[in-house]
Amino acid sequence: MADSISLADKLATFEDFWSPRTVTTFNDCDVMVVKVKGEFTWHKHDDTDDFFLVLKGQLDIELRDRTVTLGPGELYVVPKGVEHRPVAREEVHLMLIEPTGTPNTGDKATAAARKLA
Protein backbone atom coordinates (compact mmCIF):
# COMPACT_ATOMS: atom_id res chain seq x y z
CA MET A 1 0.00 0.00 0.00
CA ALA A 2 1.43 3.40 -0.95
CA ASP A 3 2.20 5.86 1.82
CA SER A 4 0.12 8.97 1.25
CA ILE A 5 -3.27 8.29 -0.32
CA SER A 6 -4.93 10.94 -2.47
CA LEU A 7 -8.69 10.49 -2.48
CA ALA A 8 -8.95 12.42 -5.77
CA ASP A 9 -6.29 10.28 -7.43
CA LYS A 10 -8.06 7.10 -6.33
CA LEU A 11 -11.40 8.41 -7.62
CA ALA A 12 -9.79 9.18 -10.98
CA THR A 13 -8.97 5.50 -11.52
CA PHE A 14 -12.56 4.39 -12.18
CA GLU A 15 -15.90 5.61 -13.56
CA ASP A 16 -18.56 3.12 -12.48
CA PHE A 17 -21.18 4.08 -9.90
CA TRP A 18 -22.06 2.36 -6.61
CA SER A 19 -18.87 0.29 -6.65
CA PRO A 20 -16.69 1.26 -3.68
CA ARG A 21 -12.91 0.92 -3.93
CA THR A 22 -10.89 0.22 -0.80
CA VAL A 23 -7.98 2.69 -0.54
CA THR A 24 -6.61 1.56 2.81
CA THR A 25 -7.66 -0.14 6.02
CA PHE A 26 -8.08 1.21 9.54
CA ASN A 27 -8.16 -1.42 12.25
CA ASP A 28 -10.76 -3.87 10.95
CA CYS A 29 -12.41 -1.38 8.59
CA ASP A 30 -12.13 -0.61 4.88
CA VAL A 31 -11.64 3.06 4.00
CA MET A 32 -13.26 3.41 0.59
CA VAL A 33 -14.03 5.91 -2.15
CA VAL A 34 -17.08 5.60 -4.34
CA LYS A 35 -18.86 7.49 -7.11
CA VAL A 36 -22.64 7.42 -6.91
CA LYS A 37 -25.49 8.73 -9.04
CA GLY A 38 -29.19 7.97 -8.75
CA GLU A 39 -31.00 6.08 -6.02
CA PHE A 40 -29.56 3.19 -4.02
CA THR A 41 -31.79 0.62 -2.33
CA TRP A 42 -33.26 0.98 1.16
CA HIS A 43 -31.10 -1.04 3.52
CA LYS A 44 -29.62 -1.20 7.00
CA HIS A 45 -26.59 -2.69 8.67
CA ASP A 46 -27.47 -4.57 11.85
CA ASP A 47 -23.88 -4.81 13.05
CA THR A 48 -22.22 -1.53 12.13
CA ASP A 49 -22.64 2.20 11.79
CA ASP A 50 -22.25 3.52 8.23
CA PHE A 51 -19.84 6.45 7.67
CA PHE A 52 -20.40 8.90 4.76
CA LEU A 53 -18.13 11.88 3.97
CA VAL A 54 -19.02 13.85 0.83
CA LEU A 55 -16.02 14.93 -1.27
CA LYS A 56 -17.90 16.31 -4.31
CA GLY A 57 -21.55 16.98 -5.10
CA GLN A 58 -24.60 16.77 -2.86
CA LEU A 59 -25.95 13.57 -1.33
CA ASP A 60 -29.33 12.97 0.26
CA ILE A 61 -29.34 10.21 2.83
CA GLU A 62 -33.02 9.39 3.16
CA LEU A 63 -34.07 8.02 6.52
CA ARG A 64 -37.60 6.80 7.22
CA ASP A 65 -38.50 10.01 9.09
CA ARG A 66 -36.30 12.64 7.45
CA THR A 67 -33.56 13.32 4.91
CA VAL A 68 -29.97 14.26 5.76
CA THR A 69 -28.40 16.36 2.98
CA LEU A 70 -24.62 16.50 2.74
CA GLY A 71 -22.35 18.73 0.65
CA PRO A 72 -18.56 18.66 0.26
CA GLY A 73 -16.76 18.45 3.60
CA GLU A 74 -19.88 17.25 5.39
CA LEU A 75 -20.32 13.85 6.97
CA TYR A 76 -23.00 11.74 8.58
CA VAL A 77 -22.85 8.43 10.39
CA VAL A 78 -25.97 6.30 9.96
CA PRO A 79 -26.38 4.41 13.24
CA LYS A 80 -26.42 0.63 13.09
CA GLY A 81 -29.85 -0.82 12.46
CA VAL A 82 -31.26 2.38 10.93
CA GLU A 83 -32.81 2.03 7.47
CA HIS A 84 -31.44 4.47 4.93
CA ARG A 85 -31.30 5.12 1.21
CA PRO A 86 -28.58 7.26 -0.40
CA VAL A 87 -29.85 9.38 -3.30
CA ALA A 88 -27.56 11.38 -5.59
CA ARG A 89 -29.37 13.68 -8.02
CA GLU A 90 -25.99 14.45 -9.63
CA GLU A 91 -22.68 12.57 -9.59
CA VAL A 92 -21.39 12.48 -6.01
CA HIS A 93 -18.00 11.38 -4.70
CA LEU A 94 -17.79 9.92 -1.21
CA MET A 95 -15.40 8.49 1.33
CA LEU A 96 -16.95 5.56 3.19
CA ILE A 97 -15.78 3.56 6.18
CA GLU A 98 -17.23 0.17 7.03
CA PRO A 99 -15.90 -2.95 8.73
CA THR A 100 -14.17 -5.15 6.17
CA GLY A 101 -16.67 -7.60 4.71
CA THR A 102 -19.78 -5.47 5.26
CA PRO A 103 -22.19 -5.99 2.33
CA ASN A 104 -23.06 -2.57 0.84
CA THR A 105 -26.76 -3.41 0.71
CA GLY A 106 -26.81 -4.85 4.22
CA ASP A 107 -27.49 -8.24 2.59
CA LYS A 108 -24.72 -10.46 1.26
CA ALA A 109 -27.05 -11.87 -1.44
CA THR A 110 -27.41 -8.51 -3.19
CA ALA A 111 -24.14 -6.80 -2.29
CA ALA A 112 -21.64 -5.54 -4.86
CA ALA A 113 -18.17 -7.05 -4.71
CA ARG A 114 -15.57 -4.95 -2.90
CA LYS A 115 -12.67 -3.82 -5.10
CA LEU A 116 -9.26 -2.31 -4.52
CA ALA A 117 -8.39 1.10 -5.96
Tell me the CA end-to-end span of the chain in Å, nearest whole number.
Answer: 10
Report strand pairing: 67-70 vs 59-63: antiparallel
Site string for its own copies, 12-41 (x = CB under 8 A): -----------xxxxx---x----------
Q: How far apart are CA 90 and CA 74, in angstroms?
A: 16
As measured in angstroms, the least distance from the Cβ of 55 to its own copies is 7
The answer to whether the CB of 14 falls within 8 A of the CB of 8 is no
Range in contact with its own copies (rule: CB under 8 A) among 13-21, 35-43, 62-70, 84-92: 62-70
Task: Give the number of C-alpha atoms closer than 13 A to the C-alpha of residue 4, restricted to the C-beta side.
Answer: 3
82 binds its own copies (CB under 8 A): no
Residue ranges in contact with its own copies by CB under 8 A: 3-8, 23-27, 31, 48-49, 51, 53, 55, 66, 68-70, 73-77, 80, 95, 97, 99
